[in-house]
Amino acid sequence: MRLVAPIALGLACLGVAPVSADARDAPLWTNAPRRPAVRAGQATKVGETGGGFADLAGRARAAVVHVRGEMPEGGTATESEGEGGKTSIGTGFIINKSGYVVTNEHVVRGVVDLRVRLYDGRELPACVAGADLPTDIALLKIEAKGPLPVLAFGNSDAVRVGEPVIAIGNPYGFNHSVTAGIVSAKERVVDRSSLHEERAEDLYSFFIQTDASINLGNSGGPLIDATGAVIGINAAFWAGHPLQPAQGIGFAIPINMAKALLPRLVETGTARRAFLGVDAQPIDPELEAALKLPSGRGALIASIEKASPAEAAGLEPGDVVVAWDGSEVATSEDFKIDAQLSVPGARIKIAILRDGKRAEREIVPRVAPIKDVAPPHPSSCTRPREPLQANVDDFDVQQAPARAGAPAGSRGVAVSRVTDHSAAAQAGLKVGDVVLRIGTTGVRTPPDVAAALGGYKLGAPVPMLVRRGGFDFWMAFTRR
């Protein structure tokens, strides 16, 4: 399996305010209307309100964004490398009008100068409001003028194998590409060692599998059902063997998993896990027969830690957990995810089988020890803003008039270095350019530049008069 890690291009959270109290009070996401029950053998219509993949994509893609960030030299989470640094490209989707955007954690890991490009072409600074390494989920924050289009959440538990779906993303930088397919499988457990080699066994991989084409750059984009609701977050694809390349095997994180974590990411920036103090294992046919179980469904408890919530609840090795908070536990993986994603301190009803008899228990998870916490993100919303990424020095054209093509006696500020993928570089500023004016202010020294830039708010467009090769021209960049 290969990560759909973007070919990243990135920029940092400059000009984005920390998460406000008003934003926290707004609903974090909207749930799509409950879908009508589908009988076995009944076809699912695509785009029930309009029909067809075209209508479905037309309604959904406005809320899908292009996520870009720069990977500093020495970084590893990238799919392409630029001069002087590395870049990363991914996808995200807007979930509420306050500007929250869902994407993958690996899309933003270690990147600076984080930005998103909206479907209407606007490019906005972004910051990481929270991220979770084990589930590979991240929540970004942007500030935009005017209403934002949003995508509603569906119910990934209700999705059926064979249902039609579409994926929207930015594969290899081709913006807002739409692919279509079906749900190929659910609850797919795969080897995620390529994501985190040291603790692959502790990472979640309860994926929705789809044959909708997913490639590098699709990471963090939505997997959308026939009603237009998000049922998954596209995260990875299976590359296969070099001599036998795989096709049509992509994986998405179930949206219900995100629902459990996103409120915690908003509140604390991380998603602390719950702890039960119990190890469970799958039930194979031999154990089913040996233990005289009615079926192989459930999670077989192998051990209980002393003084743990599991011991306090009266659980014992040999018990089979068959229900968690009213929902069936089909496998030990079900139990693991239900337990660790539960809210610490909540009182949860569970059902077990012991000696062939069903019994009810109540368990109160506590906060798990900290592990597998996502590393600090350079583009975190809580980090201070950074200055413009362009160095300038004093330049007297009288000493070298040919360098700038300027008449003798004139003065300006020569650009000595421009950081790759910075605001200045994207505007077209080059080493050797001479900055003559910023707005209406003439500049002669680096302090002049700092004072002139101080008159513009972060996120504001800055006009700049530049001389290059004997010609003067204006350019503009966004101050970050």
Task: Let me know: does 429 contact 389? Beta carbons within 8 Å.
Answer: no
Catalytic residue among 66, 98, 106, 319: 106
- Locate tokens 């490639």: which residue? 215
d(CA 12, CA 18): 14
d(CA 416, CA 397): 14
Reported residue count of the chain is 480
Q: Is 393 helix (H, G, I), strand (E, B) or coil?
A: strand
Q: Is 448 a catalytic residue?
A: no
Compute and round to an integer the Cα radius of gyration of the chain.
26
Of 215, 230, 212, which is closest to residue 137 (Cα–Cα)? 230
Beta bridge partners of 207: 188
Alpha carbon 72 to chain centroid, angstroms: 19
Which DSSP category does 14 fall into? Answer: T
**Residue 395, number of CB atoms within 10 A of its CB:** 24
Q: Is 66 a catalytic residue?
A: no
- Burial label, 190 (beta-carbon count in 10 A; 0-12, 13-18, 19+): middle
Task: Let me know: does 142 contact 33? Beta carbons within 8 Å.
Answer: no
d(CA 135, CA 205): 8
Catalytic residue among 219, 332, 380, 422: 219
Catalytic residue among 88, 98, 132, 136: 136
Q: Is 422 a catalytic residue?
A: no
Alpha carbon 249 to chain centroid, angstroms: 20
Which residues belong to the active site?
Answer: 106, 136, 219
